[in-house]
Structure 1
Amino acid sequence: MCRWLAYSGTPLLLDTILYRPKHSLIDQSLHARMGVETTNGDGFGIGWYAPESGSDTPAILRDIGPAWNNRNLREIAQHVKSHLLFAHIRASTGTAVQQTNCHPFRHGRWMWMHNGSVKGFHEMRRELSLAVDPGLFLDIEGTTDSEVMFFLAMTLGLEEDPPQAVAKMVGLLERTGREHGIAAPVQMTVAVTDGTTVWAFRYASEGGARSLYYSTKVDSLRAQHPDATYLQELSEDTRLIVSEPLGDLPGAWNEVPEHSYGIVHGGHDSLHEFAPIMP
């Protein structure tokens, strides 16, 4: 499986988010505690927004090597600031280790990343791919279930209503899975953003979904930990959503409930129940 994080809030150097925490995503690439695999070395990717550039599309850096020793990632992280970052470290579930299979995936202003798998994807791949809107199909570059999930969600209305589109996408996967004799095809945590709002989903067709956590509000953490000076640098709209906690500060992390999704926008966040919708 994989590990990922989504950051929204005070513009920070990427180094502050990716490298400096005690159990940073870079540390997790070698020493994941809650994933199926301890090591996530089958590639990585980061995507970030830079409004000062005049573009509303995110910049993307992806590579097939491990994140822990990538000099280009380290160099960029020490010089680039962003208010909205996606970062992903990959452990392949069977598809090729190649750049086009590394997350996050991008279409226009949208970014998407996924941890988990679609059971039986090899058998269902042609059918699911043909369900993608023909106008989007040629934009699929890789061979992963994750990317097909993204473009199915785009096909089913991601730009208009992300929670409903993801619910329809999962419903389509489960219906197709059952038609192929697969009772529980979906295992996922997913993050998606349009550059302004972040949506994060935790769901499994059967059994426990992969781990997912969100950070406590900054003002609450300041009250609990007045000596944590780094909290003074963060605005109250700062939020992190992570596959596993980046540190052990008491009260800093909260588990996302099973079968739910969260929305982060402009300093406000909310949790909602999630259930598939049969398309």
Structure 2
Amino acid sequence: MLDGLVSIILVSMISLIVRVVWQIIQTKNELSTIKRKKIKLKRAARLHQMTSKEKENSRKKRIIWNRKQNQLIKKLAWLQLTVYILGIAVVVISLAFFANRLQAKTPEKISSAKIITILDTVESPLKAVAEPTKEADTEVAQVLHPFNKTVEFPTTFLDLATMTFFAAKLEVTVLTTTRGADCWDLLVAENQFNKPPPSGKEYIMNRVRIKVLDSKEPHPTIKLSSFDFSYISTSGQKYERCILIAPDTLPNEIAANTDVEGNIYSLIDQGDQPHISVQDKEFMSIQ
């Protein structure tokens, strides 16, 4: 989604640059035309004796052409400056975009501690056990919440109406898991141009329910989408995001104190049992 937005912005800016360059060419042609007219008028004055009326007409023409010429010179300067600024903006956005893509391709390890799920029962409350590692024997593992269990935690959101951040609680539940051939059937039915998974890979799709609670804002429009979720492999590596046309994905904007359901997806190693990371704060089991 983000890739498409950046592409639209870049294409629009390049299209604008092309239009401005075309205006620059037309402006230069107009300046050349005025220059030729002034030369022609001066040459005509030298070749034959002009009457007082012809001299007056010639003087008026030179005044009009000089005024027009000054206007075109100013316009040309502004057009050239516009092209220069837009060109710099395109380069900066392109560099930032490709740098972000390159960084996203670098595997990110969440934790060197192995995450073990303990069933949430009366006798055995939910906890996580971290196996000792060589790097840090005292490292604390993140809690891996059970599948289909509602988890609530504090976080920060962006209110799109006021463009300000505010603190609230996020409620998340992983409802279903679809993967492999069943997941691909849903994706290709949604859009026939979705790319099939490469050898050794498979698609996974989870339906989640989210809700923002205890917001102090009156009715904020909150920025939250599938990009707030990521998939972590059993070895602790964050899977790279993939762009697909998937059915019923989470919306980009949600309202506070309202249940919202939608699908999130990823391309994972075949047979892997990943878990879902929510804003890199909470970790949810998929089964």
TM-score by length of 1: 0.24
Relative contact order higher in (CA < 8 Å, ≥ 6 apart): 1
TM-score by length of 2: 0.23
Higher strand share: 1
Higher helix share: 2
